[in-house]
A and B are shown apart, each in its own frame.
Chain A
Amino acid sequence: MMLEVERLDAFYGQQQALFDVAFAIEEGHVRTLLGANGAGKTTVLRALCGMVRTGGEIRFDGRRISGWATEDIVRLGIAHVPDGRGTFLRVSVEENLQLGAITRRNRAAIATDIERVFDHFPRLRERRRQQAGTLSGGEQQMLAVGRALMLRPRLMLLDEPSFGLAPLIVEELFEILRQVNREMGVAMLIVEQNAALALDLAEHAYLLETGRVVMDAAAAVIGADESIRRSYLGY
């Protein structure tokens, strides 16, 4: 098991946001976290990256990483595409990608990877020297995913990648995620409001409600269960 989470609690100040959350992700697998607004999905991702105060256990490759600083967790190979994208607005598109690889040493490999990201996202290649703050929402989302890929991560955490994007672009994006998972064996934990899309890509899904995991099943099972879909996923 690559990532194991047990008895995870999370706090914003005095407010508890997660209660006794548990899940696991195997190498190369895609899992999705579903649930309504405010259920705590983003909090789970932030907890994994050490961005909120937590209780409980988080283990990566058997090593306990709860309490580690964000930057050290990232260096283990966990790339987080946050909600809001976290783009470095003041530097260029290409510099954003270089920043994604800032902890790596092999210049040649980095350069190759940059070209590879541009192959996935040709629109970004056109704008490579442009200031990232001038990009549209969809382009910034692609840039955020590209930046995460530059880490050559073993695990990617994506927070609502479809947010604010036109449907056609969302489809493109998820197709690229599928490719990346297949060809590079990158495991993913995807938080999504667009449940249909997520369940199509993921093998396994967790359903979160007010900070607790209420369902833990194969994606196909959840997708097929009409009552769950109606009450939790809205379709």
Chain B
Amino acid sequence: MQLLLQQVMAGLANGAIYAGMALAVVMIFLAIDHLNFAQGEMATFSAYVAWQLIAWGTPYWVAFVATVILSFIGGVVIERILFKPLHNASILANLVAFIALFSILNSLDGYLWDYTIKTFPTPFGTKPMFGSVLIDAHEAGMIAVTGLLLGFLYLFFRGTRLGLAMRAAAHNPESARLVGIRVGWMTALGWGIAAAIGAVAGMLIAPVVFLDPNMMFGVLLYGFAGAVLGGLTSPGGAVLGGFAVGIIENLAGTYIPYVGRDLKLTIALVVIVAVLMVRPAGLFGRSAVSRV
């Protein structure tokens, strides 16, 4: 029982990472109506930029804010240059663009900053929280920041006119134009926000998993899994899904004998799939109702 509790707590700590990523995924989905497969690579690139700024002597929080702003701009630029020309093309042509972006960023990371693993500072310190070794200050900080982001984004998308306009532009661009929304700029804005969130996620995750070009791959995958599990249209669900994935991953590793490190990923995905079979829209997702 003690072991179970420990593993659950450890899973929660990892889950904070996946929850943050899942949140970013869902927010992007709401903003641009599809998944950004290069999300992880953009986050990694942002983390490297932050690392470089810090290495040049910039104080942590200055570098943090600067990186978020630069990432926002980067997201807008990427959308305008890469995806705007393809907006009339099929989803699959866009998919190729995503894959290309992934490849380019991943390769650039390695080229500019080589493949050695780097450490990344944490602003929260690593002292144990609540007097126990199960969760340390950084992990608590991650959970707190994820929660703050969630709150902020919820307010933005549900409570502001700009948020409503963005959701409309993503969900039904033609009708959005018919009410006067400048859809192109909404999409670019959505990308900017997505990139900024990704940057925050990257900078929070890097201290835990260490910085290397493939840092985000597994995390992004678990993030997707968490988002899908929770339901792609529900930010709260995504966060819960992320935590769930963290716990499942840990428990699978502990209790299923043959599962080595490598198979953990597959097991987590299998569980997600099993859930989807029962509830195709995810645990908290709302499937869009449409009449035939």
Contact = CB atoms under 8 A, between A and B. Distances in A.
Interface of A: 49, 51, 69-71, 74-75, 79-80, 82, 86-91, 95, 98-100, 102-103, 131, 133-134, 137, 147, 151
Chain B interface extent, by class: 20 to 34
A137 B290 CA distance: 11
A86 B178 contact: yes
A99 B165 contact: yes
Interface string B188-222: 00000000000000000000000000000000000
Given A102-B161, A131-B289, A133-B291, A88 B175 contact: yes
A74 B288 contact: no
B257 to A, nearest CB: 45
Nearest to B233: A90
A82 B164 contact: no
Contacts of A95: 164
Nearest to A104: B180
Interface of B: 161, 164-165, 167-168, 171-172, 174-183, 233, 288-291
Q: Which of B172, B177, B288 has the most CB of A within 10 A?
A: B177
A49 B178 contact: yes
Contacts of B233: 90
Given A71-B183, A95-B164, A102-B164, A89 B289 contact: yes
Contacts of B175: 82, 86-88
B289 A71 contact: no
Determine the main DSSP class of B at the interface with A: helix
B159 to A, nearest CB: 11
Contacts of A69: 177
A89 B288 CA distance: 8
A74 B171 contact: no
Contacts of B180: 71, 74-75, 102-103, 151
B264 to A, nearest CB: 35
A64 B183 CA distance: 22
Contacts of B168: 88, 91, 99, 102
Contacts of B288: 89-90, 133
Given A89-B172, A98-B164, A74 B289 contact: no
Contacts of A82: 174-175, 178
Nearest to A133: B289
Contacts of A98: 161, 164
A101 B270 CA distance: 46
Nearest to A131: B289
A79 B179 CA distance: 7
Given A71-B182, A102-B181, 18 more contacts: A51-B174, A71-B183, A74-B178, A89-B289, A89-B290, A90-B167, A90-B171, A90-B233, A91-B164, A91-B167, A91-B171, A95-B164, A98-B161, A99-B179, A102-B168, A131-B289, A137-B291, A147-B179
B181 A88 contact: no
A100 B288 CA distance: 21
Nearest to B290: A133
A80 B289 contact: no
Contacts of A137: 291
B167 A70 contact: no
A74 B165 CA distance: 15
A80 B178 CA distance: 6
